[in-house]
Structure 1
Amino acid sequence: MSKYGEKPWLRHYSSFVPGELPAPEGTLLDQLLTRAKATPDAPAFHYFDVTVSYHQLDEWSTRLAAKFAQWGVGRGDRVAIYTQNNPAFLIGQYAAWKRGAIVVPLNPMFKEKELEYHLNDSGAKVMVALESLYETCAKSVVPVTCVQNVVVTHETDFLTEGHVAAIPMFREIVRAKQGDADDLMEVLVSMSADDSVCVANRPDDIAFLVYTSGTTGNPKGAMNLHRNVLFNATVYQTWMQMGEMDRILGLAPLFHITGLVGHVALSMQAGAPLVLFHRFDPQEVFRLIQMWQPTMTVASITAFIALMNHPASRTANLQSLTKCYSGGAPIPPSLTEQFEERFGVYIHNIYGLTESNSPTHAVPLYQRAPVDPQSGALSIGLPVPNCEARIVEVENPQREVPAGMAGEYAVRGPMIFAGYWNKPEATEKAFHEGYFLTGDVAVMDEGGWFYIVDRKKDMIIASGFKVWPREVEDMLYQHPAVKEAAVIGVPDAYRGETVKAFIAVKDEYVDHVEPEEIIQFCKKRMAAYKYPRQVVILPELPKTATGKFLRRELRAH
């Protein structure tokens, strides 16, 4: 048996986590129906200061499902959701599932061209959209897509006038009624909550069509099945000991796989209410933490950086967040140390992909991730229950590499998606002998801890030596002025490629640090072929909505 087959990571598991989890029965929709019947008045989620119960969520989603039924939405049809972290997202999701439809979550940062691509590629028949996004973007795009009907919602829906007046981000909000779209609040009043419009979901039905971030090439729609989603919601629940006494802080965007599974699905599976607040705003996050005392969150490291660098952080109390996790991008050890020093909260690492329905690896609750002594990388954790993980040669996935050697991370298990929407060739290329090839270069140590080295496509070859951007970025974060850092390779007449770094600096260092200082800082601490020869200081680095740096935009800079 290979080292990976022996699963050395199991000995590091928390005592309450088994090596294998039984396949959960039913779907998340079944969970909603069960909770709405057993504990109808219990909170399903909080939106700012307002609480919505399971009964209300069930009733409202049935009313919207009735409207979908009028529009001919049925099993297998696609319903796009183009909102921020608003109640309409949850209502629209469960309404779509009550008609047997597939939910297509869309990034609210999409502009016309991006929105058109996703709507046409998915073939969405109906869209639930934020009113402002419909007015500024979707309205002009819908006529050239398959979308036949639109429901619009406003960020202040479900809030009282008093609540709206007290929330700074809403003080200059103006409503603009859309005559060619149905208003969600009117639908919830006019339609009846008739359960006869609801159909059952099957575990092998597609729950979500979640598009990859498209950092290279066109985004692909990952077909995430109901059983995939429910299994990893159970993983979260078990790994983090989540229950009805917990509350989840909705830091991650709901359209992203982290938000879909680590927030929405986990909340319903564990019975832990979700705290939502339209969009990320550090001041509002601090206020709602004080109000609702959430115990768990998972988000990109850039969200935690923003909280740490906000002026209000010096008096903010985050002690309730005892189950704090971050994923989506590598985490420099120096940042976890700074965050813990500021708030007294340790950020556990977690790793997953769109195609794996969030986690395949996580650091056990209340344990600390080890640091790879060779690369300085913080471990992404251990493979979660039922996850078969191995490291294979980048050029030959048939061959495993031994512990301590870098290769491509490959994974299989009940969390892995069914394939890419209408892209059989891409699906076939993504798998080898049942293992999904992640494209991430990783290392497993003798103890079974995994470390992400980098994306294999981002590797830099300088003077014949391999340079991984993450290692250089970790060094950059050690400079006290650096707030954000991303590294790319650029052509070099002498070395073939050389390292170019882009940084954003903390407010107090603006106009007080020069690129040469950063170069010299790295030069003194890194091998000659690794340190950046070029450093560009930007006000802010371009990122996806989930905090991943857009290297393609940096390459065009």
Structure 2
Amino acid sequence: MFDRHYAAWPDHVPRHLTLPQTSVFSNLEVSALRYPKRNAIVYYDSSITYEALHKDAEALAGYLKNCGVGKGDRVLLYMQNAPQFITAYFAILRANAVVVPVNPMNRATELEHYVADTSATVCICGQELVGFVEPLLGDKTTLQNVVVAAYSDALNVETDLDLPAEVRAPRAELSHPQMIAWNDALNAGHVPGPLTVGPDDLAVFPYSSGTTGAPKGCMHTHRSVMATAVHGVVWTHSTVESTILATLPYFHVTGMQSAMNGPIYSGATIVLMTRWDRKVAAQLIQKYRITRWVNIATMAIDFLSAPDVGEYDLSSLNNISGGGAAMPKAIEAKLYELTGLHYVEGYGLSETIAATHLNPITRPKAQCLGIPVFDVDSRIIEIDSGKELGPNEVGEIITHGPQLFQGYWNRPEETARSFIEIDGKQFFRTGDMGYYDDEGYFFLVDRVKRMINASGFKVWPSEVESLMYRHPAIRECCIISSPHPRRGETVKACVVLKDEAGAVTEEDVIAWCKEEMAAYKVPATVEFVDELPRSPTGKLMWRVLQEQEWKKAAS
């Protein structure tokens, strides 16, 4: 068991955590019993109590049962962040079924993969996505029933907040016989059967894109989902009095666990946003006295770049954390200057349903994954030999813990390749390159597949990106490889300049890099772009830029 990090373990936090031996739905049931009139959700100033949320989840579970959904069946949840997402999530679990959260950026062809892979017969979707679901109905796929939610139905008071178009849109009429409006499904009067699932039954299949091939369903049980939900609450000292700002998408495991399942477990209040808007976020933090905000570095960068951010009262915040990419030091410094809080980074994957590593709140390290959390055993190994490495030696991060998935749905061969046995335990091979320091803090170097090999010199793009963020004119950057006739491949930087940068040339940036980093790391070319491609969760889609670069060179 890796224990080097215990010297940095936070005070008053146990090293072992006993998890509830119940279903994830039980968390909502218990909070509704304890705090029936407390707001579970605040949605653009409209509120929903725990009692009402529980009642709606039970009603929708009854409708799902009437559609033939039974234990272990997969139900697609294809929706943006909204109260209906939370209701549907818990309704599916209440029906003893499995939640399959689908990225709302996916379109009909992509959605067809999820239907075929899971044999789902029911999809619960936002009404703006109906056009992508409808082509799959009839006898074309297994899909038979679609519940359609209008986000505006969750608004019960007037608001002066700027609402996204999808939230403003009134409920539309449905013409397809296999579709039913959200309110009609809830009011149909169906009652769910008994709750029969327990900790070792399947609960959620978040899909991982991996490095190659079609997305793969990560099989998570109620036990593994419970693990990171409870871990986050205990680590951050969250209580029923906490108020969490939810800006990360719920289809993604970080948003799902930190801003939905964790708060519902503790009976806290979720202040929910459908779309990211830095002004609305600042207004909500001030108005609802937000205590915790989990985001990604790109959101924090955008938030802190607002010229009027200092005019808002952010004093209620006691924890700002995130992951997905390292927080640039300059941005972290601005955050500390503004709030007195350090940005607390963490690390996890779809296969671990959020965090396996978190920084201690009182002892965080910048651009660091953190230390292994409760009952997690992480190691560093050589990629090829599997030999375990020591402190400050770069290798692949492997991990074992209660949040580990059961494998990839319908892909036993890929599952087998993803694990390695050490000391009688099965460790998941993350595909991430990193190391741990003398205190047991883990650091990410890069993805195994992303390394640039320039004449034998190994260049890790995230390291170069981190250095380039120090340039006063650079707002964002992405490092990719570019083919080179002599070196094989070389380094290229795609750069977004700050609005106030003025006249900055490619030569200026390269000259600056030569002063700041080893010669083999210096970008051979710099391309200025208006924006970088990002996923719906805000992650930098470096692979898109990489593929474009090599295709351009080939032609």
Smaller-chain TM-score range? over 0.9
**Residue 380 to residue 204, structure 1, CA distance change in 2 (3 Å):** same
The equivalences for 1:276-425 within 5 A come to 276-369=272-365, 378-397=367-386, 399-425=387-413
Distance in 2, Cα, partners of 1:550 & 1:209: 22
- The residue correspondences of 1:240-259 to structure 2 (distance < 5 A) are 240-259=236-255
Is 1:452 the counterpart of 2:444? The answer is: yes
> Aligned pair count?
540
Amino acid at match of 2:522: Y
1:128 is matched by which residue type in structure 2? Answer: I
- The alpha-carbon deviation at position 366 of structure 1 amounts to 2.7
Q: CA deviation at 1:489?
A: 1.4
Q: CA deviation at 1:347?
A: 0.9
Kept after mapping to 2: 8 A contact 1:318/1:345: no
Look up the SS of the partner of 1:11 in the other structure.
helix
How far residue 392 of structure 1 moved from its aligned partner, in angstroms, is 0.5
State the Cα distance separating 1:549 from its structure 2 match: 1.3
Structure 2: state its 5+ residue gaps.
Answer: 549-555
1:440 is matched with which residue: 418, 425, 432? 432
2:530 is matched with 539
Give, in whole Å, the separation in 2 of the partners of 1:405 and 1:355: 24
Q: Identify the residue that residue 551 of structure 2 maps to in structure 1.
A: none
- State how far apart, in whole Å, the 1-side matches of 2:532 and 2:388 are: 36
Deviation readout 1:312-332 (Å, 9 max, x if unpaired): 424233222211111112333
Kindly provide the CA deviation profile for residues 199-234 of structure 1, in whole angstroms up to 9, marking residues without a partner as x. 232111111110014554321110111100111111
> Is 1:92 matched up with 2:80?
no
Describe the superposition over 1:345-404 as per-residue Cα deviations: whole angstroms up to 9, x where unpaired: 32111111111111111111232315xxxxxxx22111101000110011122x101111
Confirm or deny: 8 A CA contact 1:65 1:198 kept in the other structure: no
Q: In the alignment, which residue of structure 2 is the partner of 1:375?
A: none
Q: What pairs up with 1:12-27 in 2 under 5 angstroms?
A: 12-27=8-23
Q: Which amino acid counterpart does residue 436 of structure 1 have in structure 2? A: F
Superposition map of 1:501-516 within 5 A: 501-509=493-501, 512-516=503-507
Matched with 2:164 is 169
How far apart in 1 are the matches of 2:391 and 2:168? Answer: 56
Q: TM-score, normalised by structure 2?
A: 0.93
Letter in 2 for 1:379: C
- 1:169 offset after TM fit, Å? 2.8
CA displacement 1:50-96 (0-9 Å, x = unmatched): 22111111110111111111110111111111111101111111111
Q: Distance in 2 between matches of 1:331 and 1:53?
A: 35
The counterpart of 2:415, out of the listed 398, 407, 427, is 427
Matched, 1:274 2:264: no
Answering whether residue 229 of structure 2 is matched by residue 228 of structure 1, we say no
1:198 Cα shift? 4.1
The letter of the residue matching 1:542 is P
The Cα RMSD (Å) is 1.8
Residues 168, 22 of structure 1: alpha-carbon distance in 2 compared, 3 angstrom cutoff:
closer
Distance 2:403 2:464 in 1: 32
**Greater Cα offset, 240-249 or 116-125:** 116-125
Q: 1:109 to 1:167 in 2, by over 3 A?
A: same
Deviation at 1:507, TM superposition (A): 2.5
Distance 1:184-1:422 versus aligned 2 partners, 3 A rule: same
In structure 1, what is the equivalent of residue 477 of structure 2?
Answer: 485
Q: Which residue of 2 aligns with 1:140?
A: 135
Residues 1:60 and 2:56 aligned together = yes
In the TM superposition, residue 24 of structure 1 has moved relative to its aligned partner by 2.4
1:528 aligns with 2:528: no
1:49 is aligned, of 45, 52, 58, to: 45
After superposition, what is the alpha-carbon deviation per residue over 1:122-146, rounded to whole angstroms, capped at 9, x for unaligned? 22221111101113x2222445432
**Cα distance in 2 between the residues matched to 1:258 and 1:29:** 18
Superposed displacement of residue 339, structure 1: 2.6
Cα contact 1:443–1:450 (8 A) shared by 2: yes
The secondary structure found in structure 2 opposite 1:76 is coil
Deviation at residue 174 of structure 1 after TM alignment: 5.2
Q: How far apart are residue 442 of structure 1 and its match? A: 0.8
Distance 2:70 2:168 in 1: 39
3-state DSSP of counterpart to 1:100 = coil
Amino acid aligned to 1:426 = E
